[in-house]
Amino acid sequence: MELAIIFLLITILSAIGLVRELKRKNFFAVGYAALTIAVFGWFSIMTLYSIIFPNSGGTV
């Protein structure tokens, strides 16, 4: 649970960095921020989802 929260904070900070670097037109940093948002955001959301709904999906 703590790891998912830390990754969610990383995602939020990356989103802030993405907006800031878009204003500066630094597209190399925008690419890395977008990739970070995609990877860490997906992992944190899916981890929180699996904690909230523990028996969803999978075989019976």
Residue 60 and residue 41: Cα distance in Å, rounded?
28
pLDDT tens per residue, range 14-39: 999 999 999 999 999 999 999 999 99
- Per-domain residue ranges of the chain: 2-52
Q: Which residue type is seen at 8? A: L
Confidence check: pLDDT of 58 > 70: no
Residue 43 and residue 32: Cα distance in Å, rounded?
16
Compute the average pLDDT of residues 4-22: 95
Asked if residue 35 lies in contact with residue 15, where contact means CB atoms within 8 angstroms, the answer is: no
pLDDT at 57: 63
Give CA separation, 12 vs 2, 26, 31, 58, in Å. 15, 19, 16, 30
Global pTM exceeds 0.85: no
